Amino acid sequence: MIGNRMRQARLAAGLTLDEVAQRLGELGQAITKQGLSKYEHNGSTPSASLLLKLARVLTVPSSYFLAEPELTVQWLAFRKHAQLAPARQEQIKAAALNVAEGQCWLQSILYSNDQPRVPALNISTFDEAEAAALDLRRAWGLGTAPIESVTQTIEDHGGVIVGWDQDEGRFDGLAAWINQRAPFIVVNTSTAPDRRRFSLAHELKHILSPSTEPENGDDEALANRFAGAFLVPAEVARRELGDRRRHLSFDELGMLKCKYGLSMQAWTHRALELDVIDRGQYDRLRAEFVAREATVREPVACEAPEEPTRLKQMTLRAFAEGIITEERALQLCPGCLTPQPAAQPAGRTYTARDLLRMPREERHRILAEAAEAAAEEYRTNPELTEFNALDSDDWEEWEYTDE
């Protein structure tokens, strides 16, 4: 078990066995790549001193290696490009799993009675993809209105969403089941919100209707069709566009993008697959996107709130209720706590009796500090017009009493 945790932490850090061995050597822990591999495959048990140094190298708490993982993950499909290296894919999985473990732990404490609400769907044709998208909208009570946030909609129905903010253009999304009951999606948060929304809906198809041959061309096409139908149902698209069109303008597509959070290019494809436009018009629009250099950055931006919030909200709640410590909160959700200003020690109020009991030097020091503070307040506060200091009789009385 410790070996599995060692490997997961190493992959999440994006380090090879050689790199970890080298960094341990710099900390005075001599070990070979083969020795580390043996530990990771549970062929031997590492010493406590090795785990402490390994925790420093992999930037995890030492207790990480002893935690018993409670998640089983069934990875389903990557929405990626060919240039995403296998090692990077493993890093994304391991890093996302670390986050998901904490989120599911909080979920079990704060919402122990909640169950994910995810219907089982069968999608093997485009018509079934359209129908399944409507079925899911009905199951989640979404109607046919625009979805404000796909991320938060999935989270509200028991899904776990983890963001990955690197590899833009090479990685979009990753789908999985957690413990065979909770949808789990890793989404690239460095991409534009409209692309992120489409990726989330695309991965939903892989979760709700897994293919026996994940990532094949036909299944990807079905997932794209489901995503388009989930974001903009067919009846809505026809209501907005009309049944048949000879031309779609960029301005119109931009307005629809802002309203529904579906990219201008995806709207163009949606019009084609619903026979609103023909192939010739579609090809002309595609050529116009290329001519305007708008295939990567469209001229109209989508401002949909597509950031995962469930983990932060649960962490803040658990911390506020005293369920977790500040250290644990920052482990679960780094940066989630607002730094608090250092508490200023409250100034002590002294009575005349207190002052008279003090040694003369101490009493004079306190009185001088109080006088200076009062004078500074007088100088900086225009509303003060009087400064009532100690008069000579007070000083003489205290001096006489001290004799």
DSSP, collapsed to helix, strand or coil, labels residue 365 as helix
Model pLDDT, residue 79: 79
Q: pLDDT, tens digit, for every residue of 88-139?
A: 999 999 999 999 999 999 998 898 888 888 887 888 999 999 999 999 999 9
Specify the range with the lowest mean pLDDT, choosing from 17-31, 39-53, 239-253, 364-378: 364-378
From the list 249, 257, 251, the residue with the least C-alpha distance to 302 is 257
pLDDT band at 272 (very low <50, low <70, confident <90, very high): very high
Q: Look at 82 and 34; give whichever has higher pLDDT.
A: 34
Model pLDDT, residue 302: 87
Q: pLDDT, tens digit, for every residue of 277-306?
A: 999 999 999 999 999 988 888 899 888 899
pTM > 0.95: no
pLDDT band at 212 (very low <50, low <70, confident <90, very high): low
The pair of structure tokens assigned to 216 is 């094949």
Model pLDDT, residue 384: 47
Q: Residues 6 or more apart from 380 whose CB is under 8 A from it?
A: none
What distance in Å separates the CA atoms of residue 355 and residue 367, rounded to the nearest whole number? 9
Q: Say whether pLDDT at 399 is over 60.
A: no
DSSP, collapsed to helix, strand or coil, labels residue 324 as coil
Model pLDDT, residue 46: 87
Q: Look at 67 and 402; give whichever has higher pLDDT.
A: 67
Q: The domain 1-69 belongs to what CATH superfamily?
A: lambda repressor-like DNA-binding domains (1.10.260.40)
In this prediction, what percent of the chain has a pLDDT beyond 90?
A: 51
Q: Say whether pLDDT at 218 is over 50.
A: yes
**Residue limits of CATH 1.10.10.2910 in the chain:** 70-231+306-336
DSSP 276-303: SS-HHHHHHHHHHHHHTT-SSS-SS---
Model pLDDT, residue 386: 46
Q: Side by side, which strands form the sheet with 171-178?
A: 73-80, 171-178, 182-188, 160-164
Q: Which runs of consecutive H residues, i.e. helices, occur in 140-263? A: 150-156, 193-208, 217-231, 234-241, 250-260
Q: Give the pairing type, strands 171-178 and 73-80.
A: antiparallel
pLDDT band at 401 (very low <50, low <70, confident <90, very high): very low
Q: Residue for token digits 């609103």?
A: 276
Model pLDDT, residue 357: 66
Q: For domain 70-231+306-336, give the CATH number.
A: 1.10.10.2910
